[in-house]
A = this chain, B = another copy of it.
Amino acid sequence: MVDVAREAGVALRTVSRVVNGDSTVGPGLAARVHAAIAALDYRPDERARQLRSGVTGTLGAAVRQLSHVNPVLRAVERAARDAGLMVLAASTEDDEELERRVVESMCRRRFDGIILEPIGTDHGYLIPELAAGLSLVAVDRPVLGLDVDCVLSDNVAGIQAAYSHLAERGHRRIAYIGDDERIYTAQERATAFRACAAASGRAVDSMAHTGPIERGRIRAAIAAVLDGDSPASAIITGNATISVEVLRELGAAAGKVAVIGFDDSELATLLRPDLTVIAQDDRTIGGTAVDMLRARIAEPDRPVRRVTVPVELVARGSGEIPPAW
């Protein structure tokens, strides 16, 4: 910048004014400065600008896997863009240690705020950051043990809707195959399922199968649920990946048993019959997360809010298969 000033024969401050489009600089000087900028390949340094001016205009997004389908992240990017903010994202890979490194790195860069899909149970490292003024909104799962803004889907209502949908169509034996219950959403959905089953007076244990997503486990769960003297006539799955694996294992039998999947996906309309799903409102979740983050940035001491976004049951066929008597 000092070189540009010398080249243009003006003061340092005038170069800054030109770069920032300050109107108090005459057109002649501005042209000289622009010429000097082009001649010297001058690039302004955002870090120095932020350091001096104090504004960053940047949001961080720490999500499980950047390279996976993540409609919430898409909504976050869109909402942030509409608000004139830039989003820089990184993956946490479902690794607590990596999550910590990513978030701390974003803090050191003084991002205005962070949207986090939290993993694991120990978020103690956040305490000093929050004390030092970090604005944070958790998405999809709460930050356990810490009073932090968050936006969640209504998992319980989703499972209830699926269960009722099936029960109303005459299903008496409804099974649930879900993800590892160490994951918050998986635990919440499985618990909701067990409550539904218990409320309708049925044996719970034989119908709820949860654990890590492995082909062998899914196959065993399906076998346990469909074989035997009183087989299930309907299956609710715990998330999109489980849905894929269950449908893969069911194969030709997919038309014989009712299936409702948690999470919508492009697969849902590829299969025959199309998959009935409990769809999360990703647009609303992402948009709300950005709104809440901006509100917290503007007013750090505002009360913590926990927002639950409704889900929607989308009937497409697989959930409307009647029980085989």
Which A residues have a C-beta under 8 Å from some C-beta of B?
38, 41-51, 65-74, 77, 86-91, 102, 105, 107-110, 128-129, 131-132, 244, 247-248, 251-252, 266-267, 269-272
> Can you report 9 A-B residue pairs in the complex whose CB atoms are below 8 A from each other?
A43-B129, A43-B132, A44-B108, A45-B51, A45-B108, A47-B51, A47-B109, A47-B110, A67-B71
Q: Closest B-chain residue to A49, C-beta based?
A: B108
Contact B128 A105 (CB under 8 A): no
User: Which residues of the other chain, B, contact A247 by a CB distance below 8 angstroms?
Assistant: 270
Minimum CB–CB distance for A87 against chain B, Å: 6
Minimum CB–CB distance for A66 against chain B, Å: 5
User: Which residues of the other chain, B, contact A45 by a CB distance below 8 angstroms?
Assistant: 51, 108, 110
User: Which residues of the other chain, B, contact A272 by a CB distance below 8 angstroms?
Assistant: 251-252
Nearest 8 CB-CB pairs, A to B? A46-B108, A67-B74, A88-B88, A41-B132, A47-B47, A67-B70, A67-B73, A46-B109
- Alpha-carbon distance A118/B131, docked complex (angstroms): 41
Minimum CB–CB distance for A120 against chain B, Å: 18
Copies of this chain, count: 2
Minimum CB–CB distance for A45 against chain B, Å: 6
- Alpha-carbon distance A181/B154, docked complex (angstroms): 43
Contact A105 B46 (CB under 8 A): yes
Q: Closest B-chain residue to A282, C-beta based?
A: B67
Minimum CB–CB distance for A75 against chain B, Å: 9
Contact of A69 among B48, B67, B131, B248 (CB under 8 A): B67
Contact A88 B90 (CB under 8 A): yes
Minimum CB–CB distance for A69 against chain B, Å: 6
Q: Closest B-chain residue to A40, C-beta based?
A: B132
- Alpha-carbon distance A248/B266, docked complex (angstroms): 11
Contacts A128-B38, A129-B43 given; indicate if A91 touches B77 (C-beta within 8 A): yes
Q: Closest B-chain residue to A78, C-beta based?
A: B93
Minimum CB–CB distance for A263 against chain B, Å: 14
Minimum CB–CB distance for A43 against chain B, Å: 5
Q: Closest B-chain residue to A57, C-beta based?
A: B105
- Alpha-carbon distance A88/B114, docked complex (angstroms): 13
Contact A69 B68 (CB under 8 A): yes
- Alpha-carbon distance A251/B272, docked complex (angstroms): 8
- Alpha-carbon distance A68/B74, docked complex (angstroms): 9
- Alpha-carbon distance A49/B65, docked complex (angstroms): 29
- Alpha-carbon distance A91/B87, docked complex (angstroms): 9
Contact B90 A89 (CB under 8 A): yes
Minimum CB–CB distance for A81 against chain B, Å: 8
Q: Which of A67, A87, A244, A266 has the most CB atoms of chain B within a 10 A radius of its CB?
A: A67
Minimum CB–CB distance for A88 against chain B, Å: 4
Q: Closest B-chain residue to A252, C-beta based?
A: B272
Contact B43 A107 (CB under 8 A): yes
User: Which residues of the other chain, B, contact A102 by a CB distance below 8 angstroms?
Assistant: 86
Minimum CB–CB distance for A65 against chain B, Å: 7
Contact of A244 among B71, B252, B270 (CB under 8 A): B270
Contact B91 A88 (CB under 8 A): no
